[in-house]
Structure 1
Amino acid sequence: MRGVLRAEALWVETFTGLRMDRFVKLVKVVRERGGNGPGGGRPWALPLAERVLLVAVYYRTNLTMRQLAPLFGVCPATVCRVIHRLRPLLALESAPRPLADTDRLWIVDGTLIPVRDRGVGASSRNYRFSANVQVIIDADTRLVIATARPVPGNKADAHAWRESGLPAKSAGVTVLADGAYWGTGLVVPHRKRANRPLLRGQEEDNAAHRKVRARVEHTFARMKNWKILRDCRQKGPGLHHAVQAVATMHNLALAG
C-alpha cells in the first residue's frame, strides 16, 4: 500500500504549518535525541523524516490513527507505534535557569484543553472535561519558554502555578500574570475593590498590563492551530507530550 504524504515541501508546508527548512530542523532534533533508533520490534516501515511528518500531521490535524494510516501507506498499529515512540522526542527544550535580569519579561497564563482521559481532566469553567496547562512565554519574542504538566481543569490558575514547578524556572525574571494569580508574587493588575475605585495611575498601569499580557493569549491562539490542543484523545502523558511538541513546532514556525 503506497502512501500519499511524503516529506516533501508541498506536503510538509500544507499539513504541518512549517516551512521545509524548519521541518528539517525538527527532524534533526529528533535524530539527535535518538529518534532513528530501533522501536523495539520490526524495522520501521517509514524513514525518519516521514515518521516525524506523521507525528506533526497528527498534532496539526487531529486525525485518527485509522485516517492517518492510508495517507502514509502503513497500518494503524504502525501509526500508533510511531506516535508513541517519537512524541517524547519532540518536547520543548528546557530553557536554562536565568540569572537575575530586570530587563527580561515573561508572561504566564493557563489554558484549558479538552481531554478524554478522566485521570487528567475535570469538568471546568468551559463546560467541558478539560485540563489546565500553565505556559510561560517571552514577552518580546513570543516564544514559549516552558510548559507545565497538565492538572485537572477545575484547579485555579494560582494553585496550578504553585504546583507546576515553573516558579523555580522563572526565578530572577519579572513575570506578568492576570488577576487569577493574586498572592503568588507575580506582577498582576491592581485589584478593584467595592466602593474603592482605582486611582488614575492604577487604571493606566492596568491598561498597560493588559496590552502586554494579551501576547500570551495570541500565543495560545497560534498554538491551537495544532488541533490536538482543541480535543486531545491521548491518555496518560499524551497531553503533556502534545503540548511540549506543539510548543516546539510553534517556536520553530515563529523563529526558525
Structure 2
Amino acid sequence: MAERDSNSWSVMIAGYAQNGGPHEALALFREMQISDVDIHGFTLASIVGVCGELGALDLGKWAHSYIDRKGVEIDVVLGNSLVDMYAKCGLLDEAHTSFQRMDEKDVFVWSTMIGGYAIHGYGEKALQVFADMISANVRPTCVTFTSMLYACSHSGLIDEGCRCFDSMRSEYGIEPQIEHYGCMIDLFCQAGCINEAHDFISSMSIEPNVVLWRTLLSACKASGHAKLGACISRKLLELNPKSGLELA
C-alpha cells in the first residue's frame, strides 16, 4: 500500500493478534509507532490483549499509561483487554481497579474478572463478582459458568460449586457442556469426594469422555480407592482399547 492510515495498521495488527501471531503483532505495532500514525483504541485493545497472552507486563503498562495520557476512551473492548491483561499477569488489584473504572460492563467483562480470580485461586472473590453481576442484571453465559465452576474447584468450594452448577439449567436455561461437568468432577476429586464424583459422572446427561474418566481414575489411585479404580480402568478400556498400556 502506498499509504497506510491508522485503520490499515490496526486491522493488520488485529489479524496477527487474533490468529496466533502475537510477536508479529508487536513488531508491526513498533513499525506503526515509528511511522508516527495515530494510535486509537481498537489498536490498543489488540496490543493489550497480546501483552496478556505473552505476559509482557511492561508493555501492557505502557499501553495503559498511553491510554490515560492521551485520553483514549475505554470502551468495553479495550476495558476487557486491560482487565484480562492484568489478570493474566497476576496483578489482580490492577485488574479489579480497571474493572471498577469502566462505565459500561458487558457479560464478557464480568466473566473476564471472574475468570481472573478463578485462575489464581480466589474463589470467594470470584463468587462476590458473580453476585454483583447478577445484581447488575447481567445474564451469565456458558463461559461465565465455566469460570465460576473453575473457581469453586480450585478453592474447594463444594456447596457453592454444586449450587452454581444446578442454577445453570434451573435459573438460566443453560445446558451444561462437557467443560462444566469436567469442573465438577475436578471439584469432587480435589476435595477427596471420590464416590460423589463417581455418582456425578454416572448421572451425566451427556456421555462422559475419556478425560473425565481419567480424572476420576487418577483420584482413585491417589486416595486408595482400588476397587473403584479397577472398574474405571475397565471402562476406559472399553472406550479406548489402545489405552491398556497407559493404565497398567
Shared topology, TM-score over 0.5? Answer: no
Structure with a larger share of its residues in helix: 2
Larger radius of gyration: 2
* Structure-2-length-normalised TM-score: 0.33
Structure with a larger share of its residues in strand: 1
Higher RCO by CA contacts (8 Å cutoff, separation 6 or greater): 1
